[in-house]
Structure 1
Amino acid sequence: MQSGTRTSSSSVQPNEADILSDEELKTGVREVLYKNMISGRKAGFDYHYTKPSPGTYPFQYFWDTCFHVFILSAFGEEKMAKEHVRSLFQMQRPDGFVGHMSYWKRLWPARVTDLLQLRPRDVLRLYKPHMSALVQPPIVAQAVLRVYRYSHDGAFLREMLPKLKKYYRWLAENRDFEGEGLLSIITPFESGMDWKASYDPLLKFTKGKAGPLLFWKVLQVDAHNFLKGYDLRRIYKSNKFVVKDAAFNTIYAQNLEVMAELCQLAGDEDGPGFLSMARQTEKSILRYMYDEEDAAFYDLYGHHFKKLKVRTGTIFFPVVLKSVSDEVCRKVLERHLLDKDGFHVPYPVPSLATDEPAFNPNSSLYIWRGPTWVVFNWFMQGYLLEKGYKQEARELLLSVKRLVSGSGFREYYNPFTGEGHGAEDFTWSGLVVDMIKRQQDEGDT
């Protein structure tokens, strides 16, 4: 059990006076992080990573590793943060691809869905370290920039920049099928928000609350991709599941801009090219994803960019982009985040609007369909601070502090009661320390 925190999902949420101090929270996060950390050497590869949760999520995951870098950097553990990034890129393919899961010590996938997320030829080499055939939200450039800002290690930047350039170019060349600057995901598992309700219409799942039928529909998508050998052109042509996720593409645009900054810091001439790519992505997000009537940014599907009009917690993500006007940002935030249209809960930000048919705030195999995840608060807090919404940013941080103080470091929380659900000793909730540091850096404690 973490120092000063409770892990029971039935905990009563604390009064304001019972919220853990910043130092107590930091101590708890540090204990969870180090308890979940693993390193070693396998088949000539050196790996060093943190399991998001020891039993539930035992592998090295792409965007989880980036979250761990943010947390470690907030602690001043830049050396360990660097090792996490290096491990993430140990098996990078020559073409630049990096999979969303790296299998190191435990080589056999935990679930049948994981097995289907390998290329068929990789199934035959499970005895060796290998990667999945999928991608995850490409937030790694921001992670590297965070390490550099705290460490000022130019050698590390120059070491990682060629790898990052190859990785982001692979994404542009292989997942921007239409040349509009928007990346497509080919399975719900690539968004990082596995059972996200906005995908239901595409999956022809109309029952609202998730159940075994939804599981089989998603499994069919992965089986389809597996049988096509993860040939991306064939998968795109079949058009079974081709989605441009609003959060995924927002993160992509942010990180293309960061790539331009990293190039400039390293004296690399490719910076303007990445900045141009970022602007194209931002332009397409605004053109295709924004719905003026609903004041929301929706995911898109298919070859013709049809909107998936389900109000998930990512409908306001693109407001963080510089190309999105202040007027649009204000409309989206006021409608959904500040006035909380469909998002009015004691513990924000819920992963799905409360009045959507699929909304389920409780523990479930089918996640991201109602409960609150710390990562949403973490993502939006940075933007709110930047734009001067200090009170709103403070409230998001306070909500996370209350959740962790009352229920421990859990995978997700009931947005009404604050009860913790899902994996225990879950590292994502440790992002609270980065939120604390950001608030302090803004002089707003």
Structure 2
Amino acid sequence: MLSDEELKTGVREVLYKNMISERKAGFNYHFTKPSPGTYPFQYFWDTCFHVFMLSAFGEEKMAKEHLRSLFAMQRPDGFVGHMNYWKRLWPARVTDLLQLRPRDVLRLYKPHMSALVQPPIVAQAVLRVYRDSKDEAFLTEMLPKLKKFYRWLAENRDFEGEGLLSIISPFESGMDWKASYDPLLRFDRGKAGPLLFWKVLQVDAHNFLKGYNLRRIYESNKFIVKDAALNTIYAQNLEAMADLCRLAGDEDGPGFMDQARQTEQSILRHMYDERDAVFYDLYGHQFKKLRVRTGTIFFPVVLKSVPEEVCRQVLERHLLQKDGFHVPYPVPSLAIDEPAFNPDGSLYIWRGPTWVVFNWFMQGYLLEKGYRQEAQELLLSVKRLITQSGFREYYNPFTGEGHGAEEFTWSGLVVDMINRQQEGEDGT
């Protein structure tokens, strides 16, 4: 198995190889492509992951430039899209084209954003940079932008006022083709194929034809989903916003903390299923549960308002005893006994393979709660995967074979995992 230093060297090489810094149409942009050929644009939560990696290397200056680039095209109302098209302007896929507002299609010749969002993990990324750099000027620069962004989310995606954000496309969760959306898409064939592609395409076409008018989209109720992972990240980042406000001496901190607690309570009230000990995604105006056990059923256990007993039940039943998730290389993106489970490479991702981001997300919580051995096992799994198959988009959870994009940066989260594990063992 590769040593920690060898892994860090490999991550650094991939990051720098995929990094781009230029000026175009009056914008200075600096970002890292998740994978040069497959994912050449600046993506929202990918950028935040890159910030965590750069911070792990002590590259705070570069991390700041990534965040500035991410917010360079922020709209006056606060919106930031899930993709920034900088150097390569034409979308790579028809689905990308449909993720633009109709009027933005006419602007393809110059930098523009998509009309969709992604998991809003950026407040935690900014907080990480500030804690490492203690750069008050950067905090002062970014905080107003962040406040506008999170207020846009609350005003435009919390349709019911319950503190839960809705996504309007499967691509907004960051987990394309996630199997829990199948019932809503009326796809009942288990293993994905061309029919699922067209059903997802219809969702984006529906949004495009409505001009991405969010109220009209909500009223149509075609695809309104409250994703457990996205809303967990939202709650965490509202709390991070409260911390940032406190550090900046800004009076809005308590308001963001109140929002975080409301979101946490709504997640517990609406998503948790006591019988199954699972946090399910929800759909529609009535918050109906999408009863498919994806790798995100664990995510809300990290939230402070979730009772310890609930956390214990979820972890012991599914993650620690690995009911449906027992594989040599955890954590699979879908329980192995679900009809849609496919561990191999496919266009239809997030339906079985292991992604490093799940291990990264859960490791931090396990360390915080004293599950050091379990956290170490998640880290060792990632180390073995990279040693065997390199920096790939995702991996077969049984064999460790790498699939999808090559030189994929997400696997670089292993450097943050290594640092966290060491800090946990040192008691810092």
Instruction: Tell me which interval the TM-score lies in, with the shorter structure as reference length.
Output: over 0.9
Letter of the structure 2 residue corresponding to residue 433 of structure 1 = V
Query: 1:193 and 2:172 equivalent?
Result: no
Cross-structure match for 1:13: none
User: Alpha-carbon deviation of 1:181?
Assistant: 0.2
Q: Where has structure 1 moved over 6 Å in runs of 4 or more?
A: none
Residue pairs, 1:22-421, within 5 angstroms: 22-421=4-403
SS of aligned partner of 1:428: helix
Corresponding residue SS for 1:443: helix
How big is each residue's C-alpha offset from its partner over 1:257-304, in whole Å with a ceiling of 9 and x where there is no partner? 000000000000000000000000000000000000000000000000
Question: Which structure's relative contact order is higher, taking Cα pairs within 8 Å and 6+ residues apart?
Answer: 1
Q: Which residue of 1 aligns with 2:3?
A: 21
Per-residue deviation, 1:443 = 2.3
Which AA in structure 1 matches 2:214? L
3-state SS in 2 of match to 1:391: helix
Does the residue aligned with 1:40 lie in a helix, a strand or coil? strand
CA distance in 2, matches of 1:347, 1:434: 19
CA contact (8 A) 1:289 1:307 kept: yes
CA offset digits 1:45-100 (Å, max 9, x no partner): 10000000000000000000000000000000000000000000000000000000
Q: 1:357 to 1:444 in 2, by over 3 A?
A: farther
CA displacement, residues 189-224 of structure 1 (integer Å, 9 cap, x when unaligned): 000001000000000000000000000000000000
Percent identity over the alignment is 88
Deviation at 1:444, TM superposition (A): 5.6
> TM-score w.r.t. structure 1 length?
0.96
Q: What is the CA distance between 1:441 and its match in structure 2? A: 1.2
**In 1, Cα distance between equivalents of 2:296 and 2:338:** 14
Q: Which residue of 2 aligns with 1:441?
A: 423
Indicate the SS of the match to 1:48.
strand
In 2, Cα distance between equivalents of 1:243 and 1:71: 30
Alpha-carbon distance in 1 for matches of 2:148, 2:236: 17
Q: Name the structure 2 match of 1:10.
A: none
Matched letter for residue 128 of structure 2: R
Alpha-carbon shift at residue 108 of structure 1 (Å): 0.2
Identify which of 402, 406, 409 aligns with 1:424. Answer: 406
Distance 1:437 1:165 in 2: 30
Write the deviation string for residues 367-421 of structure 1: whole angstroms up to 9, x where unpaired.
0000000000000000000000000000000000000011000000000000000
Where 1:371 maps in the other structure, the secondary structure is coil
Secondary structure of 2:425's aligned partner:
coil
Cα distance in 2, alignment partners of residues 442 and 290 from structure 1 = 29
Residue type matched to 1:383 in 2?
Y
Partners of 2:426 and 2:59 lie apart in 1 by 24
Partner secondary structure for residue 23 of structure 1: helix
**What secondary structure is seen at the aligned counterpart in 1 of 2:256?**
helix
Give the Cα–Cα distance (whole angstroms) in 1 for the partners of residues 271 and 307 of structure 2.
14
Within 1, Cα distance between the matches of 2:216 and 2:425? 52
Distance across 1 between alignment mates of 2:396 and 2:125: 29
Q: CA RMSD in A?
A: 0.7
Could you tell me how far apart the structure 1 residues matched to 2:42 and 2:118 are?
12
Secondary structure (helix, strand or coil) at the match of 2:30 reads strand
Letter in structure 2 aligned against 1:404:
I
Which deviations, in whole Å up to 9, do the C-alpha atoms of 1:120-175 show, x marking residues without a partner? 00000100100000000000000000001110101101100000000000000000
Deviation at 1:442, TM superposition (A): 1.3
The 8 Å contact of residues 390 and 444 in structure 1, kept in 2 or not, is answered as: no
* SS of residue paired to 1:41: strand
* Unaligned 5+ runs, structure 1: 1-18
In the alignment, the residues of structure 2 paired with residue 338 and residue 153 of structure 1 have an alpha-carbon distance, to the nearest angstrom, of 40
